[in-house]
A and B are shown apart, each in its own frame.
Chain A
Amino acid sequence: MSGALVSPDLFTLCKVLITGIMKIQSDAILAGAPVGSPVEPLRGVAYFLMEDWFLTLNAWMIAITIMVTWAAAIQLLTLMWMERKFYSRLQDRYGIMISIWSLPFWPFSWWAQRRNKPTHRGLGYLQNVADGVKLLQKENITPANADSAMFHTAPVLIASSTVMIFAALPFSEGFVIANMPMSLLFILAAFSLAPLGILIAGWASNNKYSLIGGMRAAAQLMAYEIPLLLAVIAVLVYAGTLNVIDIVAKQETLLASVGPIPIPNWNVFSIPQFIGFAVFATAMMAEMERIPFDIPEAEAELVEGWLTEYSGMRFGLVFGFKWMRALAGSALVVILYFGGWSGPVFVTLTPSVGGTVVPIPIPPHEVWFLLKVYFLYLVFVWVSWSVPRVRIDQILNIGWKRLIPLALLAILLAASFVALGPALGGIR
């Protein structure tokens, strides 16, 4: 039973969509330029529009646009809003409260005044948009002695490598741009490109705080990237594939039933993978630069760390893309350990659209996936706003002395359970 709303995949849907649109245009041109009329050469355009390679190209571009808009605009803003609202409540305050009625121009101000609406007591979702607009208006300053080319390359490198993750990161088995056989490897590789950008930014800014921040990012990379990958290897021993969609498919089976409650075969419910999950989640906090491990931009001692010299939207870009990395990180944890988008589908509606039956699962897999990602992200936020920041030597200690041995233990256990599983009574 397929439970995804986007099925069979995003590209196919886009292809159907673009074929329909192009067909209408092509038919209109063909009707408007009959054979023998003075505009007959236009028929060539109509045939061009229906060329398969042209449709494929367009379908890819639409799929990529949908994914980037979805991830960068909608999910980024949602995650920022969730974090700001959540830690505000943690700190006993309301947090952001800008609403659409706070806009100071017609018709919103007029309507708010007329209906006596509280203008600054909304949910606050628009605050991040307002912050973005503010940053867009600000001047981009390049420090006098900065290495200008590198200084301007670094944000592009960070932002583009972050967007690259979403080329392979699925939101359901269909909602993915490129379903490649080694997508997990691709995601992790794209993930670890950003610290290079941070190092470049720290060096090129010609600022002592930035330099220290960049060097810290490089040192920190060594501490968390290795346990992160080792923990993934333990998952691979169980899954036997590097394709994230297949990894989730492996977890969709039933582990056991407690009365009427079925317990799915999630990776986190096995002994070695639980150890791996602890390691992976800790390393992911460092990967996301969340508070216990946000030492490259420790604002207490390094002003803003490697970000210090960036201003305007360039600052906004590198600062905001932290949330996209947080989204990707949470999504990865959910995919690897929490069964991805698998979840019960209670009802499947089957409306008939133009003669074809379209099954609509409720709730669809995309919703399950996002719910899990949001929940996990809130746990990350919760942790990061309740603990102080660790020191650079301490994160190296944590990484090398705790996480790597634990990850190796997870691999050992996973391998021996897979090899000797039947002999040990199916332990996992």
Chain B
Amino acid sequence: MAEFWVNMGPQHPMTHGLWNMRVKIDGETITDAEPEIGYLHRGYEKIMEVREFQKNVVLTDRLCYVSSITWSHAYCLACEKIMDVEVPPRGQWIRVIALELQRVASHLMWLAAYGPDLGLLTGLLWALRERELFLDLLQLLTGARMNQNFPRIGGVRNDLPPDFDKYCFKVIKHFREKMSEYERLFQDSKIFLMRTQGVGKISLADAIDWGVTGPNLRACGMDVDLRRLEPYEAYPEVEFEPQVWRGGDGGDSYARFMCRFNELRESCSIIEQAVKKAPSGAYRAKAPRRAEGEGFARTEDSRGEALFYVIGDGDDRPYRVKIRSPVFCTMAATPIMLRGNKMADVVSILGSVDVCVGEMDK
């Protein structure tokens, strides 16, 4: 059969959002691939220049609809550096709780989407079932299931609700039981291993060259976790193990799956520690309206390294905002992962890198 291009998107069951992956196939084998993005470009960096610092939190929430808090937190962190605001300890711990809850919810959304990518619809409903519990916790904490608008420059919006620790422990205890169920559904399945092991490989050097970060880079065997390397908030006091693929010869879909999957467990233990360790006191510091200077913050988002670079010129709005989206960089490396694989693997490879078009197109 002659080679021809197939559009996997923009309206296609594979796409996790509005984008297009063009693949050139020779029979079933992919010879070339070309991501086409920009369908969801909303001009975030420009819009943020005309809004006040504090009001931009609402916007940054909407960068990624499954991982809102991590994004608005990165923005707040950058602004705090311009304004020289010190977040009170309790605020820092509440942020850690909220971030990790959001990370679990985001990873569960990824797990849910990864099931149908492989043809396993049961995985979708099981993962979404447990995600509901974490969304309930987030709702208890912030009042919303989605686009929570929770972090503030100088702290968080509100204190922990009463008995929050009890609810957390209950949910996490239940979730740990369900994790073993997922393991039986995913890792213990021979067909799952056939579909993921050795598929979508990217070497460590390529991954670094193309700017792949987060769980996708850790899956290549490199121990990078900004929560460890460049700790922010209360992370230095938290005991956790960055999930790195140690099996050697990583970088495939299976390694990426395992890194993310094990991060679910790590995040749960971080939440438990944070709920126990959160000191009493103020949860929010007063932040000035105007700021001058440059603020730079990078955090470990659910999908990789989220970076905010904010410049203030003494006005109450940022002069310039630069967002580095981890998915945007990872997307550039996907043709390397795709080439030489079969057409059915387009979906499972892109599912394993966890695409979020909202933040990719900004």
Binding site for B on A (CB under 8 A): 87, 90-93, 208-209, 212, 215-216, 291-292, 294-295, 298-301, 303, 385-394
Contacts and interface: CB of A to CB of B under 8 A. Distances in A.
B342 A389 contact: no
B194 interface: yes
B122 interface: yes
Contacts of B13: 299-300, 303
Nearest to A208: B6
Contacts of A303: 12-13
A192 B116 CA distance: 29
19 contacts: A87-B122, A91-B122, A92-B125, A208-B6, A212-B6, A291-B119, A300-B14, A300-B347, A301-B8, A301-B344, A385-B122, A386-B120, A386-B122, A387-B120, A387-B189, A388-B189, A389-B191, A389-B195, A391-B344
B344 A93 contact: no
Nearest to B193: A388
Contact of B344 (A90, A209, A295, A387): A295
Interface string B13-30: 110000000000100100
Given A212-B25, A300-B116, A303-B13, 17 more contacts: A91-B126, A208-B4, A209-B6, A212-B6, A299-B13, A299-B119, A301-B8, A301-B346, A388-B115, A388-B118, A388-B120, A388-B192, A388-B195, A389-B119, A390-B195, A392-B344, A394-B194
A93 B121 CA distance: 13
Nearest to B4: A208
Contacts of B125: 91-93
B345 A391 contact: yes
B171 interface: no
Contacts of A216: 28
A299 B12 CA distance: 9
A386 B185 contact: yes
B359 interface: no
B344 A389 contact: yes
Contacts of B322: none
Contacts of A385: 121-122
A245 to B, nearest CB: 37
B212 interface: no
A224 to B, nearest CB: 16
Contacts of B119: 291-292, 294, 298-300, 388-389
A298 B8 CA distance: 13
B191 A390 contact: yes
B80 interface: no
B129 A391 contact: no
A393 B28 CA distance: 9
Nearest to B115: A388
Interface in B251-301: none
B4 A388 contact: no
Nearest to B124: A91
Could you say which of A90, A208, A391, A392 has the most chain B C-beta atoms within 10 Å of its C-beta? A391
B122 A298 contact: no
A56 B92 CA distance: 88
Contact of B14 (A295, A301, A387): A301
B346 to A, nearest CB: 6
Nearest to A291: B119
A93 to B, nearest CB: 6
